Amino acid sequence: MTIAHRFTLLIPTRNRPERAFELLCYVRKQLGWKIPILVADQSDDCGARLAELLEQSALQGIGHFVDNRRGANSGRNETARRAHTDWLLLLDDDVRPAAGYLERLEEFLEANPWVDVVQCATEQREAWREYLNGDWRPSNDGRRRSCPPDWSGIQWFTSSPWAGYEALPIGLGAGNMAISREAYLNSGGFDERICGPGEDREFGLRLWWLGYRCCLCPGAVAFHLHEPLGGRREVRSRIRALFNPEPSPSWIYFHLKWFPGRPSMELIVSYVLKFAREPWKLPVKCLRLWRSVRAARKLLAAGPLYCSVPAPRASTRPHVIFR
């Protein structure tokens, strides 16, 4: 089976039509990718600007549709439902693969047929500048970095792998990964209740819990450009931002869902202690924390929203027909 018949590229986007179009032009023209592409557009203009750019271009094989819901997870789930290839490649609209990315990924899957999910390597904007200037060298040095001092054990346990070698991870980075369509749909896909921090950690943890097998492929490298606006980064007034929930309700929901009891309580207490370092801000910070906890509990009471009912990995990999 050729690469073009094996992968479908899935891209969720919101309010970044030019950036999404740049990615589409980059993979089609500069990298020469011929794989099918599906774009779930949640922009406030109902996808009008990106549709205009695509109509003016000569790009082929791109399925651009409007997703009236909000959240990258719903966009990912909807594109996955519409895909027909054996493997799904997930990229955020501000991610740019390096040359040879798809070839390295294909080689990795050929050498590791037992893999259900592939976490690809991600470097940041500074490395992208070096790449464009021809000065870039992969930073994979074969070592695993230590846990940041301000991270909890749960953060470290569910983080995407920080290694320069093939490793079995639990945490995923949703902006740069590949997954078999069977594993995606059988595991339930992303939880659409999560819109922010914890979205990929939750999916990775669930895949591990259900027995799906994920491995890091350090040879498939992409660069995260970190766009300042669009996506979840909305422009808000300073007064409104002052009372936004902190931390994200999604992050607390993730803890309540998977680590109820003491771990979740320790997360909340850690934020109170952090706020206490600046006592003049404590009342507002505690209000923001209270709002976040309340919103997270509402999400928990509503229950997860998956694209299908999650099921454990079938050891025999039976042929499944999805309707």
pLDDT of 59-70, one tens digit each?
Answer: 999 999 999 988
In a domain, 230, yes or no: no
Q: Do 194 and 281 share a domain, yes or no?
A: no
For the whole prediction, is pTM greater than 0.75?
yes
Q: Do 140 and 261 share a domain, yes or no?
A: no
Helix (H, G, I), strand (E, B) or coil at 217: strand
Alpha helices in 7-98 (DSSP H): 17-25, 48-56, 72-82
In a domain, 24, yes or no: yes
Under a CB-based contact definition with an 8 Å cutoff, are residues 199 and 102 in contact?
A: no
Peptide bond into 247 cis (omega under 30): yes
Q: Do 46 and 169 share a domain, yes or no?
A: yes
Q: Do 219 and 292 share a domain, yes or no?
A: no
Taking only the tens place, the pLDDT of each residue in 167-198 is 899 999 999 999 999 999 999 999 999 988 88
In a domain, 260, yes or no: yes
- Taking every pair of Cα atoms in the chain, the longest distance, rounded to a whole number of angstroms, is 63
CA dist 281 and 62 (Å) reads: 49
In a domain, 112, yes or no: yes
Please determine, for residue 42, whether its predicted confidence score (pLDDT) is greater than 90: yes
pLDDT of residue 188: 97
Please determine, for residue 321, whether its predicted confidence score (pLDDT) is greater than 60: no
Backbone angles phi, psi at 185, to 5 degrees: -75, -35
CA dist 53 and 3 (Å) reads: 27
Q: Do 254 and 195 share a domain, yes or no?
A: no
- Number of domains present in the structure of the chain: 2
In a domain, 98, yes or no: yes
Angle between helical axes of 249-258 and 282-302 (0-180°, round to 10): 50
**Other CB atoms within 10 A of residue 6 CB:** 17
Q: Do 31 and 60 share a domain, yes or no?
A: yes
CA dist 182 and 188 (Å) reads: 10
Under a CB-based contact definition with an 8 Å cutoff, are residues 175 and 193 in contact?
A: no
Q: Do 181 and 294 share a domain, yes or no?
A: no
Q: Do 135 and 31 share a domain, yes or no?
A: yes
Under a CB-based contact definition with an 8 Å cutoff, are residues 87 and 109 in contact?
A: yes
Question: CATH number for the domain including 190?
Answer: 3.90.550.10
- Enclosing H/E stretch for 256: helix 249-258
Residues 216-242, mean pLDDT to the nearest whole number: 73
Q: Do 162 and 21 share a domain, yes or no?
A: yes
User: What letters, b where the CB count within 10 A reaches 16 and e where it falls short, cover 113-138?
Assistant: eebbbbbbbbbeeebbeebeeeebee
In a domain, 153, yes or no: yes
In a domain, 321, yes or no: no
Under a CB-based contact definition with an 8 Å cutoff, are residues 194 and 94 in contact?
A: no
In a domain, 62, yes or no: yes
**In which band, very low, low, confident or very high, does the pLDDT at 228 lie, cut at 50, 70 and 90?**
low
Q: Do 172 and 287 share a domain, yes or no?
A: no
Domain boundary among 224, 252, 272: 224
**In which band, very low, low, confident or very high, does the pLDDT at 153 lie, cut at 50, 70 and 90?**
confident
CA dist 76 and 193 (Å) reads: 13
Q: Do 88 and 160 share a domain, yes or no?
A: yes
Q: Do 218 and 160 share a domain, yes or no?
A: yes
Under DSSP, the state recorded for 138 is -
Domain residues for 146? Answer: 3-224
CA dist 114 and 222 (Å) reads: 23
CA dist 256 and 264 (Å) reads: 6
